[in-house]
A and B are shown apart, each in its own frame.
Chain A
Amino acid sequence: MSRKKAGKGKGTSNTPNSSPSSDKDKAKKVLTQSNGVVYPSRPSLSNSGEFYDIAFKVMLVGDSGVGKTCLLVRFKDGAFLAGSFISTVGIDFRDVREQANEHSFKLRSKKVARSEEKTAEIVVEAAEERVSVEDESVEETVEDTIEETVENPLETNKVLNIDGVRVKLQIWDTAGQERFRSVTHAYYRDAHALLLLYDVTNKSSFDNIQAWLTEIHEFAHQNVVIMILGNKADVSHERVVKREEGEKLAKEFGVPFMETSARSGLNVELPFTAVAKELKHREIKEPNEPKFQLQEYVNKEMKGSGCCRS
Chain B
Amino acid sequence: MDQRNGARSGHQPQLRINVPSTARERVPSVDPYGFEHAVDFDYESYEELMSEYLAVLTRRSIKWSKLLQGKPRVDRNLKVKRYVRKGVPNEHRALVWMMASGALERMERNSGYYHSLLDLQHDPKLTETISTDLHRTFPDNIHFRLSSDPCLQRALYRVLLAYGHHNPAVGYCQGMNFIAGYLLIITKDEERSFWLMDVLLDRILPDYYTLAMLGLKTDQEVLGELVKMKIPAVWKLLQDHGVMWTLLVSRWFICLYIDVLPVETVLRIWDCLFYEGSKILFRVALTLIRPHQVDILPAQNLPDICERFKHITKGPDVHDCHTFMQKIFQEPGSLSMATVSKLRGSCRARIIAEES
Contact = CB atoms under 8 A, between A and B. Distances in A.
Interface stretch (A17-25, A177-185, A232-240, A261-269): A177-185
A4 B259 CA distance: 23
B39 A94 contact: yes
Interface in A52-70: 64-65
Interface in A197-241: none
A253 interface: no
Contacts of B314: 106, 108
Interface stretch (A77-85, A115-123, A130-138, A276-284): A130-138
Interface stretch (B12-20, B129-137, B149-157, B224-232): B129-137
Given A132-B136, A151-B174, A152-B247, A101 B254 contact: no
Contact of A106 (B40, B137, B139, B248): B40
Interface in B310-337: 310-311, 314-315, 319
Interface string B124-148: 0000010011011111100000000
Interface in A4-47: 4-5, 7-9, 11, 13-14
A107 B40 contact: yes
Interface in A96-149: 97-98, 100-108, 128, 130, 132, 134, 136, 143-148
B38 interface: yes
A59 to B, nearest CB: 12
Contacts of A1: 292, 295, 311, 315
A255 interface: no
A64 B307 CA distance: 24
A184 to B, nearest CB: 9
B61 interface: no
Contacts of B39: 94, 97-98
Interface string B161-182: 0000000000001110110000
A47 B100 CA distance: 48
Given A5-B298, A143-B135, A104 B307 contact: no
A182 B217 CA distance: 10
Contacts of A94: 39-40
A150 B255 contact: yes
A211 to B, nearest CB: 15
Interface string B84-103: 00000000000000000000
Given A14-B301, A151-B174, A180-B174, A104 B139 contact: no
B244 interface: yes
Contacts of B301: 8-9, 13-14
Interface in B244-277: 244, 246-248, 250-251, 254-255, 259-263
Given A64-B129, A103-B262, A98 B40 contact: yes
Nearest to A7: B300
Contacts of B251: 150-152
A183 B216 CA distance: 10
Interface in B29-80: 31, 33, 35-42, 45-46
A204 to B, nearest CB: 9
B250 A106 contact: no
Contacts of B175: 150-151
Given A151-B250, A177-B174, A182-B212, A101 B217 contact: no
B38 A148 contact: no
B349 interface: no
B213 A179 contact: yes
A105 B263 CA distance: 11
A148 B174 contact: yes
Given A9-B301, A64-B174, A146 B35 contact: no
B254 A7 contact: no
Given A144-B140, A147-B138, A14 B244 contact: no
B203 interface: no
Contact of A128 (B138, B173, B209, B307): B307
A170 interface: yes
Contacts of B303: 9, 13, 155, 157, 170
Contacts of A103: 31, 33, 35, 37-38, 140, 259, 262-263
A258 interface: no
B192 interface: no
A13 to B, nearest CB: 5
Contacts of A128: 306-307, 310
Given A103-B262, A177-B173, A182 B213 contact: yes
Contacts of B209: 179
A175 B139 contact: no
Contacts of A155: 303, 306-307
A130 B139 CA distance: 14
A183 B213 contact: yes
B246 A148 contact: no
B139 A147 contact: yes
A144 B139 contact: yes
B105 interface: no
Nearest to B247: A152
Interface of A: 1, 3-5, 7-9, 11, 13-14, 64-65, 94, 97-98, 100-108, 128, 130, 132, 134, 136, 143-148, 150-153, 155, 157, 170, 175, 177, 179-180, 182-183, 186-187
Given A65-B133, A152-B251, 6 more contacts: A7-B304, A64-B133, A134-B136, A144-B139, A144-B140, A151-B254
Interface of B: 31, 33, 35-42, 45-46, 129, 132-133, 135-140, 173-175, 177-178, 209-213, 217, 241, 244, 246-248, 250-251, 254-255, 259-263, 292, 295, 298, 300-304, 306-308, 310-311, 314-315, 319, 355
List the 9 closest pairs (A to B, CB-CB), nearest first. A105-B42, A14-B301, A103-B35, A152-B250, A148-B136, A7-B300, A65-B132, A104-B41, A151-B250
17 contacts: A13-B303, A13-B304, A64-B133, A103-B35, A105-B45, A106-B42, A128-B307, A128-B310, A143-B139, A147-B138, A150-B175, A151-B250, A152-B248, A155-B307, A179-B213, A180-B213, A183-B246
